């Protein structure tokens, strides 16, 4: 078991408690250790012009009782969930998190989100990561999964970087217009100073991506399944088109539950599968933390960022877990490292792992069917209320409608009536100013969906 070191630990042993600030004696001890006369000496390298002088404009300190009251006042500004029903998705989807998930992730052998530096000491952490890797491989149809990636957006960026390493040449990345805009933005940021160009592949009238002729200069093709618009892509056709080229086929997902009903990316010829597992065991939490994943073919595992946990036996023949492969810059020479990913999303990954294990194969399919039914019902109800369904291809639990007027104004008007109807797509693309991305999952009842249709119909009439 790792122990704390430094002044915090010393203060703890003296009975001061880890949550109490250091006293004068502790500060003087630390200053003496670094041979400084005062705290001001520590800032000597910083130019005077760059230093802040004066007092920060902060409210005066509060007593504990007063502070708790203040926090309750702040919390009351949020719309009460009981009186507001939201149909928001767009990469962070509302799903029910079973109560036992939170109970199990708090077991002491698992309760950490930190990187396993002394890996083999933390057998509980390693086992959790191993099971996570196994479940992701089963879900995606791939052979190897890493642990881990920050979120869906960074996983797409890492996949593009991995494709660049595998192809060993500069080139072009073709990405679907149905790729999450935030995923694309993060990927562009990661690759700003690299020899990679980006070219968008449009979506057709049905919402599916139109894949052009793939030239020798293309290093990767990126599709999202389901797409950002909730459309189910024909990955098998895409894989066939890409198979005879030099490009790597990358499949991303922000809604892995859909893989319970669709053909797995691995079966369609995907080289790298990445995405977001927040839908399993992790609540919305105002947008985070999230849990990314990244899977690939066995032949390419040494180009994965992060780490791989393997299963073995110890000297007594008992099952054990080890850090089998780690291509992080802290473990190998920086020039040979695949990434500087450091933080391990172990706690979020464990929550996803527990939820998937609880569902099992049949339960996951059943939940996916439930989601499909709710989204289909919502789409039909909104169409009956006067909205136009934008895409005709099959969907999962999200879909796009056109309300005929400014969608952002519709969202605000509906919110005043206790319904948040979806995400106004004009924030991502001004050409979609009248469109809404609506998400319906197992947490929405038919009565709530009927209310959604009624309110949208009333506001847009």
For the stretch 393-403, pLDDT in tens is: 999 999 999 99
Name the segment(s) of the chain with CATH classification 3.40.640.10. 99-356
CATH class for the region spanning 85-97+360-460: alpha beta
pLDDT beyond 90 at 260:
yes
Task: Give 329's pLDDT tier (boundaries 50, 70, 90).
Answer: low
Q: Residue 96: phi, psi to the nearest 5?
A: -75, 130
Span(s) in the chain for CATH 3.90.1150.10 = 85-97+360-460
Rounded (10°) CA dihedral 398, 403, 409, 410: -70
* pLDDT for the residue numbered 212: 94
CATH code for the structural domain at 99-356: 3.40.640.10
User: Mean per-residue pLDDT for 438-453?
Assistant: 96
* Beta bridge pairs of residue 144: 296
pLDDT-based confidence at residue 119 (cuts at 50, 70, 90): low
Instruction: Establish whether the linkage from the previous residue to 254 is cis, with ω within 30° of 0.
Output: no
Comparing CA positions, the residue from 284, 233, 266 lying closest to residue 394 is 233
What lies within 8 Å, CB to CB, of 277 at 6+ separation is: 136, 256, 291, 292, 293, 348, 349, 352
Residue 11: what pLDDT?
42
Region 95-108: what's the mean pLDDT?
90
* Sequence-distant (≥ 6) Cβ neighbours of residue 460 within 8 angstroms: 386, 387, 403, 404, 405, 410
Q: How far apart are CA 383 and CA 454, in angstroms?
A: 11
**50-59, 312-321, 431-440: which is most confident:** 431-440
In this prediction, residue 306 carries a pLDDT of 81
The confidence score (pLDDT) of residue 3 equals 36
287 dihedral zone (left: phi>0; alpha: psi -120 to 50; beta): left
Highest mean pLDDT out of 144-158, 325-339, 431-445: 431-445
Q: Is the pLDDT of residue 432 over 50?
A: yes
The DSSP-derived string for 108-142 is TTT---S--TTGGG-HHHHHHHHHHHHHHHHHHT-
Over residues 144-165, the mean pLDDT reads: 92
- State mean pLDDT over 16-23: 66
DSSP letter at 85?
E
Report the pLDDT averaged over residues 117-129: 77
Reading phi first (left if > 0) and then psi (alpha if -120 to 50, else beta), residue 422 is in left
8-state DSSP, 173: E
Residue of 24 and 231 predicted with greater confidence = 231
Q: What is the pLDDT of residue 180?
A: 98
* Average pLDDT for the chain: 89
* The predicted structure's pLDDT at residue 1: 34
* 160, 173 contact by CB (below 8 A): yes
| 381 CB-near residues (< 8 Å, 6+ apart) | 449, 450, 452, 453
Q: What is the pTM of this model?
A: 0.83
Please count the CA atoms within 13 angstroms of the CA of 112 that sit on its side-chain side: 20
Average pLDDT over residues 116-122: 67
What lies within 8 Å, CB to CB, of 453 at 6+ separation is: 378, 381, 382, 384, 385
DSSP labels, 295-310: EE-GGGGGG-SSEEEE
């Amino acid at each position: 078991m790792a122990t704390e070191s430094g002044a915090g630990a010393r203060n703890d042993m003296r009975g001061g408690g880890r949550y109490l600030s250091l006293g004068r004696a502790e500060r003087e001890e630390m200053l003496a250790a670094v041979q400084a006369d005062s705290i001001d000496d520590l800032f000597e390298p910083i130019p005077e012009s760059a230093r802040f002088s004066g007092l920060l404009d902060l409210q005066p300190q509060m007593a504990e009782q007063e502070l708790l009251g203040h926090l309750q006042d702040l919390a009351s500004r949020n719309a009460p969930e009981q009186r507001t029903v939201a149909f928001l998705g767009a990469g962070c989807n509302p799903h029910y998190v079973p109560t036992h998930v939170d109970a199990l992730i708090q077991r002491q052998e698992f309760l950490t989100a930190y990187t396993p530096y002394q890996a083999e000491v933390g057998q509980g952490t390693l086992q959790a990561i191993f099971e996570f890797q196994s479940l992701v491989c089963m879900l995606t149809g791939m052979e190897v999964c890493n642990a881990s990636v920050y979120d869906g957006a960074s996983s797409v960026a890492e996949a593009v970087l991995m494709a660049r390493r595998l192809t060993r040449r500069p080139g072009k990345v073709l990405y679907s217009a149905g790729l999450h805009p935030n995923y694309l933005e993060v990927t562009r940021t990661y690759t700003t100073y690299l020899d990679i160009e980006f070219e968008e592949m449009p979506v057709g009238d049905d919402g599916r991506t139109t894949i052009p002729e793939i030239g020798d200069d293309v290093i990767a093709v990126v599709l999202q399944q389901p797409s950002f618009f909730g459309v189910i892509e024909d990955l098998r056709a895409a894989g066939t088109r890409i198979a005879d080229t030099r490009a790597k086929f990358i499949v991303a997902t922000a809604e892995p539950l859909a893989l319970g009903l669709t053909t797995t990316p691995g079966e369609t010829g995907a080289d790298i599968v990445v995405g977001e597992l927040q839908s399993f065991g992790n609540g919305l939490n105002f947008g985070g933390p999230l849990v990314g994943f990244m899977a690939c073919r066995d032949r390419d595992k040494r180009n994965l960022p992060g780490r791989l946990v393997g299963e073995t036996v110890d000297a007594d023949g008992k099952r054990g877990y080890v850090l089998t492969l780690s291509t992080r810059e802290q473990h190998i020479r920086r020039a040979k490292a695949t990434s500087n990913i450091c933080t391990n999303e172990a706690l979020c990954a464990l929550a996803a792992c527990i939820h998937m294990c609880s569902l099992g194969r049949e339960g996951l399919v059943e939940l996916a069917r439930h989601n499909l039914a709710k989204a289909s019902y919502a789409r039909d109800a909104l169409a009956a209320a006067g909205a136009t369904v934008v895409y005709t291809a099959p969907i999962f639990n999200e879909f796009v409608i056109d309300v005929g007027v400014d969608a952002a104004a519709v969202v605000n008007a509906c919110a005043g009536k206790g319904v948040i109807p979806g995400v106004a797509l004009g924030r991502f693309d001004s050409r979609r100013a009248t469109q809404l991305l609506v998400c319906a999952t197992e947490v929405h009842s038919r009565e709530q969906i009927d209310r959604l249709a009624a309110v949208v119909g009333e506001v847009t009439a």
